[in-house]
Amino acid sequence: MRRKILLFGIMALLVSVSSCDKNFEAINENPYAILNVTPDLLLPTVIRGSVNRVMDDGWSIGNIVIQQTAKIQFVNEDRYIWGDRSGLWSSLYGVLRDVNNLYTLSDASGFNNYKGVALVMKSWIFSVLTDAYGDVPYSEAIRGKSDGILTPVYDPQEQIYAGILADLTTANELLGSTEEAINGDVLFGGNVQAWRKLANSLRLRYLMRISGRTDVSTAMRSIVDNPSQYPIFENNADNATLEYLAEAPNQFPLHTTRVGSFDEFRLSKNLADKLLAFQDPRISVFARHTAASAGTSNPIYVGIPNGLSDVDAFNYNGGVQNVSRLGSLYFEDAITVRGRRVARGYIMAYPELQFILAEAAQKGLITGAAAAYYREGVTAAFAYVDTPMPTDYLSRGGVAFQPDSALELIGTQKWIGLFFTGLEAWFDWRRTGYPEVIAGPSNQNNDRVPVRYAYPLSEQSRNAANREAAVSRQGSDDINTNVWWDN
């Protein structure tokens, strides 16, 4: 009898399980789940994810290596003990998957505006990757799911730049050719013309980047001489800079950093000396008076040399109270009205463009007066950090435009204007050599300033053959091997 009862119980249980299994998906369906991804849902992630990642590397490496900031503790980065710099690689390739999805979805819907935006973001992200590492996966990148390519080839940087410039040209043509609104645009608020200006301004940046390897004059003139066909930035209102919010979670990333972590970074002596020599008021944005002098009759700014040992850095000039901390607008005051105007994520801005045009004019790559572009660049750079420019600033020693020293003047002011803008100041210094950057006394790189990131260690196991082919073509996989445009 008990066996029959047990048998009936088992059969009832099986029926019950079978019944539950048939309805499992319906019962567990999330009524709030997003089942169809649309371009407007992808775009904010693409913009924020890429910009925030680049700004993070700007804080930890970019500002240091270009000697805008220096470290007083945990000084490995300042001594060029960089280790595995894989974060930029993995993060940006991750974002590129979303960029690819953005383009594919937009193409299927006939949304040319979104396609143009996707090409602009793709171009900028790949430019950061190739300028940081050299030859990288490009033509076969992000094709694992669609084509089963799990070990993409590393393309030569020359070919990557050709692709970037071609995509930006196409983006300019696509943008405005359809009428869909660009929703989810946290950079320009859906302004199609602003994206066109960014596409063409970036083209000028990248043409200048490779100008030491190929003649770019015709391409640059075709843009500058045809503003209706190739609009570019006209003022700071056109800047491709991500404005953060006062409220979490979209605040300036450093705003929530621990005080101790923020204070490891101080004003570099290289930048401080130049700003003080020029009596440049932007120093009050970039840094603070030393704690020891604050509130006295003679508050002062003091920078620290780059590349000191841990002990020497911590004790420099009598200790940390006698070295300038970085400006409050990049930390506790980043959520204020002024802070939100100054502390922004950076892709490209009008002052940088003016310095590019000044250099191009000085070299005869475009028509126009180099001095006029230079003066506009300096003026706009002051406005960029919400700081009035002294009326006589452009006539001061070391600032006044002189044809014989024009490239150094342009390069120096561009470097100042690119304070904390990610890795762009480092990329540009590698090309121009301005201003002078000398490895610090305790550097661990044989007195050489790094010119690239080494490839991520994970690539040695995941994509060894293609990585090795790139190393054989490009040169030793270390921080001293120049990339193609830097040779």
Rounded to the nearest 5 percent, the helix, strand and coil shares of the chain are 55, 5, 40
Q: To 10 degrees, the CA torsion angle through 141, 83, 64, 92? A: 20
Question: What is the model's pLDDT at position 235?
Answer: 98
Closest by CA to 78, choosing from 346, 439, 360, 429, is 439
Whether the model pTM is above 0.85: yes
The answer to whether 149 and 462 are in contact (CB under 8 A) is: no
Asked whether the CA dihedral 136, 141, 144, 148 is positive or negative, the reply is negative
Altogether, the residues listed in the chain come to a count of 487
Q: At what angle do helices 217-224 and 192-209 cross, to 10 degrees?
A: 160
User: Residue 77 has which token pair?
Assistant: 């980065």
Question: What is the model's pLDDT at position 18?
Answer: 47
| Spatial distance between the Cα atoms of 338 and 350, rounded to a whole number of angstroms | 19
What is each CA distance from 53 to 164, 249, 253, in whole angstroms? Answer: 20, 15, 10
Residue type, 328: S
Question: What is the model's pLDDT at position 144?
Answer: 87
3-class secondary-structure state, position 241 = strand
Question: What is the model's pLDDT at position 29?
Answer: 58
| Spatial distance between the Cα atoms of 165 and 442, rounded to a whole number of angstroms | 40
pLDDT in tens, the chain (487 residues): 444 444 445 454 444 444 445 554 445 555 544 446 799 999 999 999 999 999 999 999 999 999 999 999 999 999 999 999 999 999 999 999 999 999 999 999 999 999 999 999 999 999 999 999 999 999 999 998 889 999 999 999 999 999 999 999 999 999 999 999 999 999 999 999 999 999 999 999 999 999 999 999 999 999 999 999 999 999 999 999 999 999 998 999 999 999 999 999 999 999 999 999 999 999 999 999 999 999 999 999 999 999 999 999 999 999 999 999 999 999 999 999 999 999 999 999 999 999 999 999 999 999 999 999 999 999 999 999 999 999 999 999 999 999 999 999 999 999 999 999 999 999 999 999 999 999 999 999 999 999 999 999 999 999 999 999 999 999 999 999 999 999 8
Q: Which residues contact residue 318 at a Cβ distance below 8 angstroms, ignoring those fewer than 6 apart?
A: 292
What is each CA distance from 39 to 36, 125, 394, in whole angstroms? Answer: 10, 18, 46
Question: Which three-class secondary structure string do you get for 64-104?
Answer: HHCCCEEECCCCCHHHCCCCCCCHHHHHHHHHHHHHHHHHH
DSSP string for 297-361: SS-----B-SS--HHHHHHGGGSGGGSPBBPGGGTTTTTSHHHHHHSEEEEE-HHHHHHHHHHHH
Question: What is the model's pLDDT at position 30?
Answer: 54
Set out the domains of the chain in order of their start, with CATH numbers. Answer: 46-85+232-453 (1.25.40.390), 92-214+459-487 (1.25.40.390)
| Spatial distance between the Cα atoms of 37 and 183, rounded to a whole number of angstroms | 13
